[in-house]
């Protein structure tokens, strides 16, 4: 990269960090847990949100901000579960930025417990952008291969928990969840690991409990 490019990128990230800090402060003050979901396209982010909507129904209120390059399809899927969803269509941009979340927050209902942000499907660029979340989840689906943490380290380094998705496909795939988990924890030893199949429901309760604990910590001021 040229010096000019590096300067522009550094300015962008600094501006983003400021906007993210303001969002984090606002969400904490309102007692809302912000959760940023990162992954490749098709790793199961929307399907996980649908499964969590079923788990939380009647117990917790959630809202979703959907990031996509084009289409409102993911927001429509989430709304079909009775969950308010605000679509951000980036029109080409490869990641969400905090200022987009700041704008979208105005359309998010005030009385919620969880704000999920589904990032653009991209295992690279979204990792560099803090969106003001308190919990960052990185999803890795079994069909993607257990070699991905070492090849795309920033997403795993910046996450709080790794969600290994589509575990129902394990019998048909050369994927070893222990290898994936071990590689990810080599990059970030404190990374929590969850293995789920959102389609079958396996493992979703454990992940939901982890999020509820994080919400309780935030509300007791221990976040």
Looking at beta carbons only, is 70 or 111 nearer to a second copy?
70
Q: In whole angstroms, how close is the CB of 131 to a second copy at the nearest point? A: 17
Q: How far is the CB of 84 from a second copy (least distance, A)?
A: 21
Q: Give the nearest distance from C-beta 204 to a second copy in angstroms.
A: 18
* Nearest approach, Cβ of residue 132 and a second copy (Å): 20
Q: CB nearer to a second copy: give 42 or 177.
A: 42
- Give the residues lining the site for a second copy (CB under 8 A): 4-5, 8, 12, 40-42, 68-71, 73, 92, 94, 120-125, 141, 143-145, 147-148, 150-154, 166, 168-169, 172-173
Which residue's CB is nearer to a second copy, number 118 or number 160? 118
DSSP string covering the chain: --HHHHHHHHHHHHHHHHHHHHHHHHHHHTT-EEEEEE-STTSSHHHHHHHHHHHHTTT--EEEEEEESS-SHHHHHHHTTT--EEEEE-TT-SS--HHHHHHHHTTS-SS-SEEEEE--S-SSGGGG---S-SEEEEEEEGGG-TTHHHHSHHHHHS-SEEEEE-GGGGGGS---HHHHHHHHHHH-TT-EEEE-BTTTTBTHHHHHHHHHHHHHHHHTT--
Compare residues 26 and 176 and give the one whose CB is closer to a second copy. Answer: 176
């Amino acid at each position: 990269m040229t010096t000019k490019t590096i300067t522009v990128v550094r300015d962008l990230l600094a501006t983003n960090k400021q906007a993210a800090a303001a969002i984090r402060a606002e969400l904490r003050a309102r007692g809302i847990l912000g959760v940023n979901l990162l992954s490749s396209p098709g790793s199961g982010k929307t399907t996980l949100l649908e499964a969590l909507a079923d788990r939380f129904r009647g117990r917790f209120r959630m809202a979703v901000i959907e990031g996509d390059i084009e289409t409102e399809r993911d927001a429509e899927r989430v709304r079909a579960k009775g969950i308010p969803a605000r679509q951000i269509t980036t029109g080409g941009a490869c990641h969400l930025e905090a200022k987009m979340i700041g704008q979208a927050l105005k359309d998010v209902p005030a009385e919620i417990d969880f704000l999920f942000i589904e990032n653009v499907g991209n295992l690279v660029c979204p990792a560099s952008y803090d969106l003001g979340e308190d919990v960052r989840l990185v999803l890795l689906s079994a069909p993607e291969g257990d070699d991905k943490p070492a090849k795309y380290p920033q997403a795993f380094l910046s996450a709080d928990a790794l969600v290994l998705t589509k575990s129902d496909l394990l019998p048909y795939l050369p994927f070893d969840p222990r290898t994936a988990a071990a590689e990810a924890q080599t990059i970030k030893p404190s990374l929590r690991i969850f293995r789920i199949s959102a389609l079958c429901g396996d493992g979703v309760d454990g992940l939901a409990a982890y999020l509820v604990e994080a919400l309780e910590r935030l509300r007791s001021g221990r976040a």
